[in-house]
């Protein structure tokens, strides 16, 4: 049964007194160069996000966006295509008048990323655009391109002398995945380090910009009633779930090479774990926070060789039904090999070997074609040490649970026991529910764009943290891939909660997954 279904009364929470230091800080002038301006990411996410910031008054007056790609477009072509993309992705903010003002800031430079002449053309054109829009020499390179092209573009920018800072800032934004294993991650970091300093590099994981992910640190360290019980003495275990109802969709080319561990665990899930497990930083500053997150990654116990099955379960979705409609198995999706062993589901048990969390298991799971779309962190507290009601109650009393909901309905749930009215000895589990109001605010992409322009790296991944996550996962991935094809990959029907084998990770200790 879904925990929400067995709750009797419900208590709602609301904001009583917002503090004055609120609101969205406005960034200064800048020019953003978008590599891969004709691609899906730029059309669906990036340009619509920049436009929404502009339409809602969060962009500086002086800004420019320069798209680059191989298509033989000019400025007019690019503006027309971006107008169509914005109208589709941000219809609530679109108006012809706003678009006309926004479009004056859009430009296009055509070229192939492997061609030195392209970087020469780009270098020659940018100063005129930046002077016209008075961007103060501030420049951001946004890599909306396949990860396999990152090193090529970074090298081109460095050799053309376009990575240095001269009067303003120069920053580069790259999206996950940052490599596909420890070796390729090292190689990408080395290539970036030749042309850019670490302070110029913004490794983006958009999950970190989700409202309730940002709220984790505030919730933990601004409320004295929670931090004293946020440790092994009171916490039984932690469950971190990111489930998707979608299948592989149009991403088969990427997903066949990545799989769920590279796609979700190396970035999203381990980042969420670090925020839950980290110690309080000495100050709420980007590097102090990232120092503590890296310490968590360093403290994660390596999965013992030869005991992988006791810590990790992977699976692949088969045919099934979603919302009453039949959907195909992963191997029957367009672009997927008929004998593919790419996992679309994984569950993992990890331990953080430090004073705070010694012995507390962290259970991570993520999968496609799950019953519902959700991202949540559940802190399961230990049962009371002596249950004096055991003799008069027929049913088991559930321990307290704190759930941080990341998506789709961001908020916080607290489950606790109360006496049922008019009864002598009867308990009801109560849900205290806080939900963020559905007001207009920044989405994840808009938040990271603003922070990049402001120079705030709090929500971006640092090189040492990136390396540590790959150190954790690369041995696991290599062991799984070494036996691919020799053993049958567990299957789960689309629309189910994953393979039955995943239940054993918790059942050995008398635990169970939260229902989806």
CB environment 488-501: b (16+ within 10 A), e (fewer): ebbbbbbbbbbbee
Residues 6+ apart with CB under 8 A from 190: none
Secondary structure class of 104 (helix, strand, coil): coil
Q: Which two tokens stand for residue 155?
A: 């090298």
Q: Which two tokens stand for residue 195?
A: 């042309």
CB environment 113-129: b (16+ within 10 A), e (fewer): beeeebbebbeeebeeb
Nearest CA-CA partner of 275 in 233, 214, 228: 214
Q: Does residue 357 contact residue 351 with C-beta atoms inside 8 Å?
A: yes
Q: Identify whether 268 is a catalytic site residue.
A: yes
Q: Following DSSP, what letter does each residue of 237-254 receive, concatenated?
A: EEEEEEE-S--STT-HHH
Quickly count: other Cβ atoms within 10 Å of residue 137's Cβ.
17
Nearest CA-CA partner of 51 in 99, 108, 107, 88: 99
Query: What secondary structure letter does DSSP report for 61?
Result: S
Q: Which of these is catalytic: 186, 206, 268, 386?
A: 268
Q: Does residue 200 contact residue 193 with C-beta atoms inside 8 Å?
A: no
Nearest CA-CA partner of 297 in 254, 260, 265: 265
Which residue's entry shows tokens 């959700």?
374
Q: Which two tokens stand for residue 333?
A: 């999706």
Q: Which two tokens stand for residue 427?
A: 């308990």
Query: What secondary structure letter does DSSP report for 59?
Result: S
* Residues 449, 445: Cα–Cα separation, whole Å: 6
Please give the backbone phi and psi of residue 400, each rounded to the nearest 5 degrees, phi first.
-65, 145
Q: Which residues are catalytic?
A: 268
């Amino acid at each position: 049964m879904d925990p929400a279904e067995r709750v009797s009364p419900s208590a709602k929470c609301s904001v009583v007194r917002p503090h004055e230091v609120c609101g969205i800080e406005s960034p200064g002038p800048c020019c953003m160069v978008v590599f891969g301006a004709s691609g899906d990411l730029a059309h669906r996410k990036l340009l619509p996000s920049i436009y929404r910031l502009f339409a809602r008054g969060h962009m500086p007056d002086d800004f420019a966006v320069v798209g680059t790609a191989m298509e033989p477009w000019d400025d007019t072509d690019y503006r027309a295509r971006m107008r169509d993309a914005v109208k589709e992705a941000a219809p609530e903010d679109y108006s012809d008048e706003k678009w006309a003002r926004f479009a004056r800031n859009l430009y296009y430079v055509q070229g192939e990323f492997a061609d030195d002449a392209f970087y020469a053309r780009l270098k020659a054109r940018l100063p005129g655009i930046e002077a016209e829009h008075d961007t103060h020499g501030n420049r951001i390179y946004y890599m909306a391109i396949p990860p396999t092209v990152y090193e090529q573009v970074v090298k081109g920018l460095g050799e053309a002398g376009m990575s240095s800072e001269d009067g303003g800032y120069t920053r580069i934004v790259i999206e996950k995945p940052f490599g596909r294993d420890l070796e390729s991650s090292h190689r990408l970091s080395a290539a970036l380090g030749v042309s850019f300093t670490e302070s110029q590099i913004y490794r983006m994981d958009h999950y970190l910009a989700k409202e309730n992910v940002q709220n984790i640190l505030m919730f933990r360290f601004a409320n004295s009633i929670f931090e004293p019980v946020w440790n092994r003495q009171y916490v039984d275990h932690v469950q971190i779930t990111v489930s998707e109802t979608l299948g592989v969709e149009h991403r088969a080319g990427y997903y066949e090479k990545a799989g769920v561990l590279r796609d979700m665990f190396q970035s999203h899930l381990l980042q969420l774990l670090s925020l839950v497990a980290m110690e309080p930083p000495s100050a709420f500053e980007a590097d102090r926070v990232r120092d503590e997150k890296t310490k968590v990654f360093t403290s994660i116990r390596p999965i013992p060789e030869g005991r992988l099955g006791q810590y990790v379960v992977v699976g692949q979705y088969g045919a099934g039904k979603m919302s009453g409609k039949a959907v195909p198995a992963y191997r029957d999706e367009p672009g997927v090999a008929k004998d593919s062993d790419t996992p679309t589901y994984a569950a993992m048990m990890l331990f953080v070997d430090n004073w705070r969390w010694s012995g507390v298991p962290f259970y991570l799971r993520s999968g496609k074609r799950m019953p519902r779309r959700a991202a949540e962190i559940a802190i399961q507290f230990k049962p009371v040490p002596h249950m004096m009601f055991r003799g008069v109650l027929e049913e088991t009393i559930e321990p307290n649970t704190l759930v941080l909901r990341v998506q789709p309905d961001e908020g916080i749930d607290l489950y606790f026991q109360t006496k049922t009215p008019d009864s002598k000895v009867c308990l009801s589990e109560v849900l205290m529910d806080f939900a963020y109001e559905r007001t207009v605010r920044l989405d994840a992409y808009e938040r990271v764009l603003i922070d990049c322009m402001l120079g705030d790296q709090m929500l971006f991944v640092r090189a040492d943290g990136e390396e540590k996550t790959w150190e954790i996962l690369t041995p696991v991935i290599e062991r799984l891939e070494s036996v691919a094809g020799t053993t049958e990959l567990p299957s789960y029907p689309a629309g189910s909660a994953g393979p039955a084998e995943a239940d054993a990770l918790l059942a050995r200790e008398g635990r169970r997954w939260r229902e989806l």
